[in-house]
Amino acid sequence: MYQVLYRKWRPKVFGDVVGQPHITRTLLSEVRENRLAHAYLFTGSRGTGKTTCAKILSKAINCLNPQNGDPCNECEICRGADNGTLLDIVEIDAASNRGIDDIRLLRDESNFTPAQAAYRVYIIDEVHMLTIEAFNALLKTLEEPPEHVKFILATTEVHKLPSTILSRCQRFDFRRIEPRVIAERLMYVAQRENAVLHEDAAMLIARIADGGMRDALSLLDSAISVSSEVTAAVVSDCAGLMGRDAIYELVRAIAAADTAACLSMLDRLHNASCDTERLVTELTNQFRNFLICKTVEHPENLIVCTQDELAVLRGLADLFTNEQILFSLNVLTGTAESIKRTQNRRVEAEMALIRLCSPETDTDTAALLARISKLEAALAALRANGLPAAPVQTAAPSATSAKAEAPQAEAEEPSVAPQSLAEDAPVASPAAEEEDLFPFEGFGQESAAGGYANAFSEEEEDDAPFDPEELRQARPAPPAPADEPQAEPEKPSAPEPPAKAAAASVPAGGLPDGPVDTKLWNKVIVDLELSFPPLTGMLTSSSAVVSGAVLTVKPAKPLLLGEELIKMKLVPVAEKHLRRKFEIRFKY
């Protein structure tokens, strides 16, 4: 029968326990000199050897043929303890036996002398899970324990234990095992298992296991089952970890504030079923490494990596200011928290990457500090190198609006221009809308470009809604149901294309079914980009169709962001412009 590695290689004597010499030495001498406490408390994070030491100790004090403090592992008692037939060593999982009745039972039972062994040993795992009443019952036993009973309590969360319990136990704090020590042990085990384990793969496992030997051996186990030659790549695959290179690439994209690159990389990793939570952890670790590189003189003492990696880390760290790194850590740790609670981890990761690339979308202090430090760096560079020649063209409108205007301008024949200005009026000015007046100021602006007089006369002929008086009357009426196109009766003639009609005026009842007019749709996109800049360019040249309560959006190119996120941002903007409530769908 196959036995998992961490069971198979579980140490059987104190000397084999890895990474806890301060504990094993003390226990060994206590057993040897028969200076045993009544109760022991083993604390420390998972997989650090608490249960292993508890098992060895319980055998050692009962062994018929002890070997200088260690159990012989051969006598009747030792073998009985190993295969679970010895009734005097009792393991209790407090997570599932946490009530007072369980502890009362234990207390009553402990009054009887052990059946075979010298001591009856109770190993209570995860003891912090006991209820208050159970703790009180346990305390009574700990206060006056029978001579033949020993308790070994183990917990990962010692702060949850009542001080009354703590004060009655001899306490041992198990440390996280150093990665190097774990890696050595893994190499040893792999060799005995006739598997080839590369050194960097062993270090990688050790790093992922975060000080826990059990996790490390479990990961080695699954790596060996994939391939008898365990390389770092095999480990990465098994752990759902992205390769170092991918992480570094992602970090470079963040440093360059290249949102699109970050998101497409995330998409790639997502499709390669890389674990999003692990990705966030890994990024957090890297930014921590950068901070150490920048602030500590000898980072190699604090960072687990090879010399080559350290050189790469130093180079990457130089891409960021301290404030940027702190901001990034802030974002990433927040994401690590929220990702545990969400259904859609990918959206969380995307939002994190967007925030990392554009601190300007954040307003918290860390983000502002990051931006200030960036400005300071730019200013220092200016001071050092002098001002560059002024650019020839003065600042045009912002990149987003310029971009958005472009398709409109291309689409329009000059002669049609006046129409567009008419179309603008009712839709684009929410402020004016507030005052119950549709704007005429827009006309003035555009008349310079497009001959407003013509437009106005044309308007009067065929577009009734532009009479402000009529609008004023129309507004107080409650909006009609979405699928009843209120606008229809107002339309002058049937053959008018639906797109034009829609754009010309979005009736109070909402846009009628059919394709959304390009110009109107572009307005939606501009507004969307203004409300959430990372979406800039993503829906350029897309189109949309209204049908009942569904707005179908046809993007012109693959979306770099998750649809959920885009929908979230698009819904309010679309509803504002099109005056209907929608469910948004994407169609390619």
- By the criterion CB under 5 A, which residues form the site for Zn ion? 63, 71-72, 75, 78
Mark residue 455 as left, alpha or beta (left: phi above 0; alpha: psi -120 to 50; beta: remaining): alpha
- In the complex, least distance from residue 63 CB atom to Zn ion, rounded to whole angstroms: 3
* Cβ closest to Zn ion, residue 55 vs residue 577: 55
- In the complex, least distance from residue 22 CB atom to Zn ion, rounded to whole angstroms: 25
- In the complex, least distance from residue 66 CB atom to Zn ion, rounded to whole angstroms: 7
- In the complex, least distance from residue 89 CB atom to Zn ion, rounded to whole angstroms: 12
Distance of alpha carbon 151 from alpha carbon 368, whole angstroms: 54
* Cβ closest to Zn ion, residue 15 vs residue 240: 15
Are 365 and 373 a contacting pair, CB within 8 Å? no
DSSP one-letter code for 3: -
356 φ, ψ (degrees, to nearest 5): -65, -40
Distance of CA 364 to the CA centre of its chain: 19
Residue with tokens 């049937």: 494
Choose among 534, 536, 531, 500: nearest CA to 517.
Answer: 500
* Cβ closest to Zn ion, residue 58 vs residue 518: 58
- In the complex, least distance from residue 64 CB atom to Zn ion, rounded to whole angstroms: 5
* Cβ closest to Zn ion, residue 80 vs residue 299: 80
- In the complex, least distance from residue 119 CB atom to Zn ion, rounded to whole angstroms: 13
* Cβ closest to Zn ion, residue 12 vs residue 128: 12
Distance of alpha carbon 277 from alpha carbon 282, whole angstroms: 9
- In the complex, least distance from residue 241 CB atom to Zn ion, rounded to whole angstroms: 42
Residue with tokens 């850590």: 329
Beta bridge partners of 123: 91, 152
* Cβ closest to Zn ion, residue 72 vs residue 474: 72
**Which DSSP helix (H) or strand (E) runs through 547?**
strand 543-547
Are 510 and 479 a contacting pair, CB within 8 Å? yes
- In the complex, least distance from residue 217 CB atom to Zn ion, rounded to whole angstroms: 25
Task: Count CB-CB contacts under 10 A for residue 278.
Answer: 15
Distance of alpha carbon 30 from alpha carbon 350, whole angstroms: 55
- In the complex, least distance from residue 67 CB atom to Zn ion, rounded to whole angstroms: 8
Task: Count CB-CB contacts under 10 A for residue 305.
Answer: 18
Are 538 and 562 a contacting pair, CB within 8 Å? no
* Cβ closest to Zn ion, residue 56 vs residue 63: 63
Strand 120-125 relative to strand 89-93: parallel, antiparallel, unpaired? parallel
Are 110 and 120 a contacting pair, CB within 8 Å? yes
* Cβ closest to Zn ion, residue 75 vs residue 428: 75
* Cβ closest to Zn ion, residue 63 vs residue 262: 63
- In the complex, least distance from residue 55 CB atom to Zn ion, rounded to whole angstroms: 12
Are 248 and 83 a contacting pair, CB within 8 Å? no
Helix (H, G, I), strand (E, B) or coil at 203: helix
- In the complex, least distance from residue 59 CB atom to Zn ion, rounded to whole angstroms: 6
Distance of alpha carbon 553 from alpha carbon 576, whole angstroms: 16
* Cβ closest to Zn ion, residue 59 vs residue 168: 59
* Cβ closest to Zn ion, residue 72 vs residue 530: 72
Distance of alpha carbon 138 from alpha carbon 151, whole angstroms: 10
- In the complex, least distance from residue 58 CB atom to Zn ion, rounded to whole angstroms: 11
Task: Count CB-CB contacts under 10 A for residue 400.
Answer: 17
* Cβ closest to Zn ion, residue 74 vs residue 496: 74
* Cβ closest to Zn ion, residue 17 vs residue 425: 17
**Which DSSP helix (H) or strand (E) runs through 241?**
none
Distances in Å between the Cα of 381 and the Cα atoms of 89, 270, 285, 375 are: 71, 39, 30, 10
95 φ, ψ (degrees, to nearest 5): -65, -35
- In the complex, least distance from residue 15 CB atom to Zn ion, rounded to whole angstroms: 15
The dihedral sign for the CA sequence 324, 384, 382, 249: negative
